[in-house]
Structure 1
Amino acid sequence: MRQFVLLLVVVAAVLGQETEKIDSSDSTISTDRDRLLENLFAKYNKRNYPDKSTVQFGLNLVTVDQDREKDLLNSDVWLKISWTDNRLTWDPADYGGLQNMRITPDQLWLPDTTLFNGPAMQCTPTNAILYPNGKVLWVPPCKLTSYCNFTKDATAEQECVVNFGSWTFDGLTMGLEFFEKENKADISYFQGQRYKVTKNEAIREEKFYPCCVEPYLNLKFTLGLAPTTKKGIAP
């Protein structure tokens, strides 16, 4: 239920709605959806990518755990990823007023925004939501394993970074920005039984390398984590 409520909140943010409540019902008959799917994907090639799209990226922190022996931070998160694919637009009036479509991610081109500073990022392929203007919203739950240099004192605050960026796209081909300009992790649903968040900030970096003239972008989230007890173990 919490995941569903979060998704509705994210949808409202993407659409810029000012109303307090969202009607999530779907009364459109299936034939309208069938026609739309057929027309949208008749010539759509997911191996190609949209022109000059900007990815909005956010991080919703759910749980964290420290693997101190290996200097690894394990976390459960919900990523908030949104972009516009100008090949996937429609006029709702032509399809019974249809305002959105749930699409499995294997049907879509997906941005290759990934975790830079870690050995593992595993996401559940949940549905994405597609809107008439071509905007795509995808909120997959993911498990992250990122590197963190822990101090010897297990009772002290630890500062860890999770850093994301496109694996292949430069900043001129695909933009990268914070989701709804929120330059920190969302901790609204953080379940911190063992740790509490003591620092939460993020920066957008634009880097140039000797090989290339174009910039490369990344979003770096910095988290301060302190144990909830002096021994670092929850009661």
Structure 2
Amino acid sequence: MSTMSTGTFIGLLAICAVAQCQLFDALYTYVLDKAANTSIPVVSSREPVNVSIGMSLIQLTSLDSKSGDAEIETWMSFRWTDTRLSWDPTTFNDTAFIRLPLSRIWNPDVMLYNGHTSNIEPLTVVDASGGVMYFPPTTLKTRCYVGNYTKDGSVTCRFKYGSWVYDGFLLNVIESSNEVDLSNYESDETEWELTKQKVERRVTHYACCEQPFPDVVFTLKFKEKGKRNSVWNIFD
């Protein structure tokens, strides 16, 4: 699947909706009859399901410089392929995409390890090859590192995502980009400035097991606007 920002893709979906892109009941029936919403679509142990994860930052809702408690609003993105959901577009009036409820298809158990999430459950977008795209608006809550706040006014927040029960031989999480999408970030609504951000994939191995356990970490570093380095504060 080609790469585009979450904001761009959602914009394209809106255009499609205005144009009344209707799909036929026969296609929904055909796809859902083949769908298996409980079993992971793994062909072999050498071919795990790749789940790409991305984040589009919308707003920093709150950040406590003492406790480190933070809340942000995001559009998360999850992409994977399930060939059981594929179809021949020529058989269904050249239909290239359909929208399906997440609950009706298999979906990865990828979650935030170090915090809490709340989100609505929008429809997934499935293409004719079985590629699935899911973009839930998500509120993330975590506790950030505040050890540098007294030095330079900065707070670093990390959001670690991975599968809850699958190892990397079955489900492989990867980053969709090495950066957080900031195209929709509302930076004027907060007293904190976003100074650094990155996305990285890591793999953990445990002594007990040969399987790898991958995760994707989103790092956001904020600095309080107007906060000066402590070396200058002694002259206040």
Q: Report the TM-score range of the alignment, normalised by the length of the smaller protein.
A: 0.7 to 0.9
Q: Tell me whether 1:39 sits opposite 2:36 in the alignment.
A: no
SS at match of 1:133: coil
Q: Tell me whether 1:54 sits opposite 2:50 in the alignment.
A: yes
Match of 1:178 in 2: 175
| Alpha-carbon distance, 1:47 to partner | 1.0
| Alpha-carbon distance, 1:129 to partner | 0.4
Q: Hey, which bits of structure 1, 4+ residues long, moved more than 4 A?
A: 3-6
| Structure 2 unpaired stretches of 5+ | 1-5, 43-47, 229-236
Aligned partners of 2:35 and 2:106 also within 8 Å: no
Match of 2:123 in 1: 127
Match of 1:75 in 2: 72
Aligned partners of 1:67 and 1:74 also within 8 Å: no
One-letter identity of the residue aligned with 2:150: D
The 1:150/1:86 distance shift into structure 2, 3 A limit, reads same
Question: For residues 156 and 93 of structure 2, what CA distance do their matches in structure 1 show?
Answer: 52
Match of 1:157 in 2: 154
One-letter identity of the residue aligned with 1:184: E
Match of 1:188 in 2: 183
One-letter identity of the residue aligned with 1:41: L
Q: TM-score, normalized by length of structure 1?
A: 0.82
| Alpha-carbon distance, 1:110 to partner | 1.2
Q: Which residue of 1, 7, 20 maps to 2:10?
A: 7
Q: Deviations over 1:31-80 (max 9, x none)?
A: xx211111111242201111132001101111112134542221111001
One-letter identity of the residue aligned with 2:102: P
Question: For residues 144 and 82 of structure 1, what CA distance do their matches in structure 2 show?
Answer: 19
Match of 1:14 in 2: none
SS at match of 1:153: helix
Structure 1 range deviating more: 67-76 or 219-228: 67-76
Aligned partners of 2:7 and 2:183 also within 8 Å: no
Question: For residues 40 and 225 of structure 1, what CA distance do their matches in structure 2 show?
Answer: 45
| Alpha-carbon distance, 1:6 to partner | 4.8
Q: Which residue of 197, 215, 219 maps to 1:218?
A: 215
| Alpha-carbon distance, 1:4 to partner | 6.8
Q: TM-score, normalized by length of structure 2?
A: 0.82
SS at match of 1:73: strand
| Alpha-carbon distance, 1:175 to partner | 1.5
SS at match of 2:31: helix
Aligned partners of 1:56 and 1:82 also within 8 Å: yes
Match of 1:16 in 2: none
Q: Deviations over 1:72-93 (max 9, x none)?
A: 2211110011100111000000
| Alpha-carbon distance, 1:26 to partner | 4.5
Report percent identity of matched pairs: 24
Q: Deviations over 1:165-184 (max 9, x none)?
A: 111111110121111xx112
